[in-house]
Amino acid sequence: MTESPKPKKKVVRVESSSAKPSSARPEASEESAADGPVWTPAPEAKSRAGRLRVFAWAGWLLAIGIEAVLIFWVLRQDPVNMWLLIGGIVLTAALAIAGSLFWKQANRLDPASKKDAVRFFVQNQLGAIMSVIAFLPLIVLIFTNKNLDGKQKALAGGIGVVVALVAVFAFGADYSPPSQEQYAAEESIIVQLTGTDEVFWVKGGSVFHVCAAVPDVNKESQDGQIYQGSVAAAHEAGKDRLVSYWQREAVNYCGYTQEQVAAVEAAVSGEAPAEETPTENAPAEDATAE
């Protein structure tokens, strides 16, 4: 194994509220059939996720409450107060979107398991579901309201449709939902390869990397820094996953051999145990915060 080159940018360590002792790190693949949770957050992370879910429900319930006011009061006026109607639609969207953002962050801290497909779908797409509930009845009643003329229906209904689509598809739906199995597999790869749960990312990226020397994290970024932390910390920071070509990074830039990478792949897939211990696999120098 060759020595990993030093990064070109400053490396900043990030602590995670999901951090667990190394002895608690999972060593299961995504296909693990072990009983119980495949991956569990630290108590602090689970508590934080619970608070975020309370905030999310508060936003959604307020959005539905405003929807009810618009349906049962504003739309029953003759003439309908258009400024009040449009303002209510926009406020409903803002609250629904805020609820979805809180909910997504909570799911990053405390993800669902793929073992229960129904729960996994509902937990990760609840923002989209609640946004539909907050808008669909209102939009239907706008277009069927007898107190609005054609132009008013087109204006209010058009605004309602646009903000509903934004709330549902841009902010509510999760197209790359996190899972316990994903976190467990990523932690297993990193720990078995490097000997420690440490990954690297930049502020504007969507993935995290094996070491601080890879070209992707040394490119120009928003704040000119590389962040170092656990897999859980990377997900908390908004990163979706481990980079798909981590094997190539490990060999070409991080100082690991093809044999070491193959051993980790085999161990994670359950084909065979890793041939070397984590301490033997670890690079000669770790990237640390300056």
Model pLDDT for residues 248-266, shown as the tens digit of each residue? 999 999 999 999 999 999 9
Return d(Cα 171, Cα 59) in angstroms, integer: 13
The total domain count for the chain is 2
Same domain, 134 and 204: no
- Boundary-marking domain end, from 124, 156, 172: 172
Judged against a pLDDT cut of 60, whether residue 82 lies above it is answered with yes
38-43 mean pLDDT: 91
Same domain, 19 and 74: no
What is the per-residue pLDDT across 95-116, written as a single tens digit (0 to 9) for each?
A: 999 999 999 999 999 999 999 9
Q: Which domain holds residue 115?
A: 43-172
Buried b or exposed e, range 194-214, using 16+ CB within 10 angstroms:
bbebbbbbbeebebbbbbbbb
Instruction: Give how far Cα 195 sits from Cα of 2, 57, 98, 258, Å.
Output: 16, 40, 39, 17
Same domain, 51 and 91: yes
Same domain, 168 and 50: yes
Same domain, 210 and 158: no
187-210 mean pLDDT: 95
Same domain, 130 and 206: no
Q: Going by C-beta distance under 8 Å and a sequence separation of 6 or more, which residues neighbour residue 205?
A: 216, 217, 221, 239
| pTM, two decimal places | 0.83
Task: Extract long-range pairs of 204-208: CB within 8 Å, 24+ residues apart.
Answer: 205/239, 206/238, 206/239, 206/240, 206/241, 207/239, 207/240, 207/241, 207/242, 207/243, 207/244, 208/234, 208/239, 208/241, 208/242, 208/243
Q: Quick check: is 224 in a domain?
A: yes
Q: How confident is the model at residue 178 (pLDDT cuts 50, 70, 90)?
A: very high
CA atoms within 13 A on the CB side of 101: 11
Same domain, 166 and 214: no
Among 2-16, 87-101, 177-191, which stretch is predicted with the lowest mean pLDDT? 2-16
164-170 mean pLDDT: 98
Question: Please, what is the average pLDDT of the chain?
Answer: 87
Same domain, 229 and 150: no
Return d(Cα 121, Cα 134) in angstroms, integer: 19
Q: Quick check: is 5 in a domain?
A: no
Q: How confident is the model at residue 12 (pLDDT cuts 50, 70, 90)?
A: confident
**18 and 232 Cβ atoms separated by less than 8 Å:** yes
Q: Quick check: is 187 in a domain?
A: no
Two tokens at 285? 């120098």
Q: Quick check: is 183 in a domain?
A: no
Same domain, 157 and 240: no
Judged against a pLDDT cut of 90, whether residue 234 lies above it is answered with yes
Same domain, 127 and 70: yes
